[in-house]
A and B are shown apart, each in its own frame.
Chain A
Amino acid sequence: MESQILKIENFSAGFGKCLVLKNIDFSVEQNRITAIMGPSGCGKTTLIRCINRMHEFSPGAVFSGKILLHDEDIYSINPIIVRRKIGMVFQRPNPFPTMSIYENVISGFILNGIKLKKGERDHIVVNSLQKAGLWEEVKDNLHRRGTFLSGGQQQRLCIARALAMNPDILLLDEPTSSLDPKSTLLIEQLMEELKQSITILIVTHNIAQAARISDYVAFLYLGELMEFGLSKEVFTAPKNKKTEEYLTGKFG
């Protein structure tokens, strides 16, 4: 049963007078991986940052249009609630340097001042680390600092941290662009497993990655949505000329 968990309707955003996104319209299917791809500066990151309302932290941020989560406009909900329902993993791994691996996983609860019983805490930590495929590597070092881990492990720790809050949607902003091929592969496999339980929206400038992992793909160019559809169709028979040029490496 397909259902649309997130709908982006006629959405535009930018900084001051400079419009970065123009009239974006597409919907995200539940428990699927949707990739947003496009050349640098096309507005991919801005779009994903609008979805969990991080865009408004940028100086001069402006936006118009609607983004609906379960048919409710996220701009009518408190941003703090939105961000708990829509988790985010960033381009560069950013575990909290003052916290242990254990604390990092439940940092969403610690930092928000949500008290948990010891049993609950342990359960969330183990469960999230297992989901993020990191448990086996760190189970003996849970109380070491998160920053001792390798880049790829740190990124999976950040995924575990986001999963611990049990969000509806996970946003990934070029999560593998600072990682080596082996860690990249691990994270891609991880996403395949995660989509059983969560909806994933990933920004990538790596066409091959988008083709490998995504069910749906949105192609952005100069702030406009050129094409959106099933990855199978877009990658084999793109309808838009720009998409075809991008996929065949004519620019980008």
Chain B
Amino acid sequence: MRQLKKRIVKDFFFSLIIIVMAFSACIPLFLILGFIIKNGASSINLDFFIHLPKPVGEQGGGILNAIIGTFIITGIAFLLATPLSILAGIYLSENRKNAFSEILRTSVDILSSIPSIVIGIIAYLWIVKPMKTFSALSGGIALAIIMLPVVIKSTEETFAIIPYGLKEASFALGVPYYRTILKVILPAGLSGVITGTLIAISRIAGETAPLLFTAFGNPFMNLNLTKPMNTIPLVVFNYTTSPYEQWHKIAWAAALVLLIIVLTLNIFSRIISKKWKVKF
């Protein structure tokens, strides 16, 4: 009897510890969120979104150029990386075991573990130096390289769980291979591919290191892809490292904007993966 009681008590404590630990895993997130909102919210108003930065000493000013820059550079990366990654992901899921897919899979794993600052340096050497100027384009390419392995992996994983029976059903109707992939497999995995892509975008939207010596940053509005461009993470970096109190406030506000963008993308991807989920 005492034995049993002891076990029940142990059981209770074990469950309790798991619950407490699970909760404490969320604490850092809420601390960070709370801290950034507390520091950043006061500087955010409409002006912040529609004005350009002001010189040191002047009050106000916004980060319109950085917001637009973030969208442009992330857009370049998206356009460059996504088609390639999805096709590579399809190749990997279609060819599980041949020699080339093994090499490709290993390369993708290695690529994803290369520190982002190294990719920035490479983009600097290969694109910025020959072009003799920092540019939005070089930043977009650096981010595209970071995005590649993320989307390839998620695409491969999405297609790997699509039942083989679906492909057979299509073949048995006399549908050629390429049409089977495009019309049966791709639609069945579309929600997974979109989710993976959105998560990859939210990841690169917050990247700073590879942009330091590629997109570089720019206090003015610039829409020219071959010229330096500002992004929100660069604003956060440059303004935080400055000695001016006023700029620190803008950095906090920019961090908050970045956080909101990233969170929105994440929530959006969750909704898509739930709503568009295909039941097999």
Interface residues of A (CB under 8 A from B): 52, 54, 57, 80-84, 87-88, 90, 92, 94-98, 107-108, 110-113, 145, 147, 158, 161-162, 165
B169 near A90 with CB under 8 A, answer yes
Interface residue SS majority, chain B = helix
Q: A87-B172, A95-B169, A110-B183 are in contact. List 20 more A-B contacts (CB 8 A).
A: A80-B174, A82-B174, A83-B172, A84-B173, A84-B174, A87-B173, A90-B172, A94-B166, A94-B169, A97-B188, A97-B280, A98-B187, A107-B173, A108-B174, A111-B170, A111-B175, A112-B173, A147-B279, A162-B172, A162-B173
A98–B184 Cα distance when bound, in Å, is 8
Q: How many residues of B contact A (CB 8 A)?
A: 21
B161-194 interface code vs A (CB 8 A; 1 in, 0 out): 0010110111111111001100110011000000
A219–B25 Cα distance when bound, in Å, is 62
A83 near B165 with CB under 8 A, answer no
Residues of A within 8 Å of B278, CB to CB, are 97-98
A107–B174 Cα distance when bound, in Å, is 11
A207–B179 Cα distance when bound, in Å, is 39
Q: What are 8 A-to-B residue pairs whose CB atoms are below 8 Å?
A: A90-B172, A92-B165, A94-B168, A95-B169, A96-B169, A96-B170, A107-B173, A111-B179
**With contacts A96-B184, A97-B188 known, is A81 near B174, CB below 8 A?**
yes
A248–B62 Cα distance when bound, in Å, is 87
B219-260 interface code vs A (CB 8 A; 1 in, 0 out): 000000000000000000000000000000000000000000
Residues of B within 8 Å of A111, CB to CB, are 170, 173, 175, 179-180, 183-184
Find residues 137-153 in chain B having any chain A CB closer than 8 Å to their own CB: none
Residues of B within 8 Å of A84, CB to CB, are 173-174
Residues of B within 8 Å of A112, CB to CB, are 173-176, 179
Residue with the highest number of chain B CB atoms closer than 10 Å, among A82, A98, A110, A112? A98
Residues of B within 8 Å of A158, CB to CB, are 169
A131–B188 Cα distance when bound, in Å, is 28
Residues of A within 8 Å of B169, CB to CB, are 90, 94-96, 158, 161
Q: How many A-B residue pairs have CB under 8 A?
A: 74
In the complex, how many angstroms separate the beta carbon of A132 from the nearest chain B beta carbon?
15
B172 near A96 with CB under 8 A, answer no
A88 near B172 with CB under 8 A, answer yes
B174 near A98 with CB under 8 A, answer no
Residues of A within 8 Å of B170, CB to CB, are 96, 107, 111
Closest A residue by C-beta to B189: A98
A81–B174 Cα distance when bound, in Å, is 6
Closest B residue by C-beta to A57: B171
Residues of B within 8 Å of A81, CB to CB, are 174
A54 near B168 with CB under 8 A, answer yes
A113 near B168 with CB under 8 A, answer no
In the complex, how many angstroms separate the beta carbon of B255 from the nearest chain A beta carbon?
40
Closest B residue by C-beta to A92: B165
A83 near B166 with CB under 8 A, answer no
B173 near A147 with CB under 8 A, answer no
Give 9 closest A-B pairs by Cβ, nearest first: A84-B174, A94-B165, A83-B174, A108-B173, A88-B172, A111-B175, A98-B187, A94-B169, A97-B278
Residues of B within 8 Å of A107, CB to CB, are 170, 173
A161 near B168 with CB under 8 A, answer no
In the complex, how many angstroms separate the beta carbon of A48 from the nearest chain B beta carbon?
11
In the complex, how many angstroms separate the beta carbon of A175 from the nearest chain B beta carbon?
13
A113–B170 Cα distance when bound, in Å, is 13
Residues of A within 8 Å of B280, CB to CB, are 97, 147
Residues of A within 8 Å of B187, CB to CB, are 98
A108–B259 Cα distance when bound, in Å, is 47
Residues of A within 8 Å of B184, CB to CB, are 96, 98, 111
Closest A residue by C-beta to B179: A111
A84–B173 Cα distance when bound, in Å, is 6
A82–B173 Cα distance when bound, in Å, is 9
A162–B280 Cα distance when bound, in Å, is 19
In the complex, how many angstroms separate the beta carbon of B194 from the nearest chain A beta carbon?
14
A112–B183 Cα distance when bound, in Å, is 9
In the complex, how many angstroms separate the beta carbon of A236 from the nearest chain B beta carbon?
35
In the complex, how many angstroms separate the beta carbon of B160 from the nearest chain A beta carbon?
16
Closest B residue by C-beta to A52: B172
In the complex, how many angstroms separate the beta carbon of A151 from the nearest chain B beta carbon?
13
In the complex, how many angstroms separate the beta carbon of B44 from the nearest chain A beta carbon?
42
A79–B183 Cα distance when bound, in Å, is 19
A161–B278 Cα distance when bound, in Å, is 20
Residues of A within 8 Å of B183, CB to CB, are 110-111
In the complex, how many angstroms separate the beta carbon of B102 from the nearest chain A beta carbon?
15
Residues of A within 8 Å of B279, CB to CB, are 97, 145, 147
Residues of B within 8 Å of A94, CB to CB, are 163, 165-166, 168-169
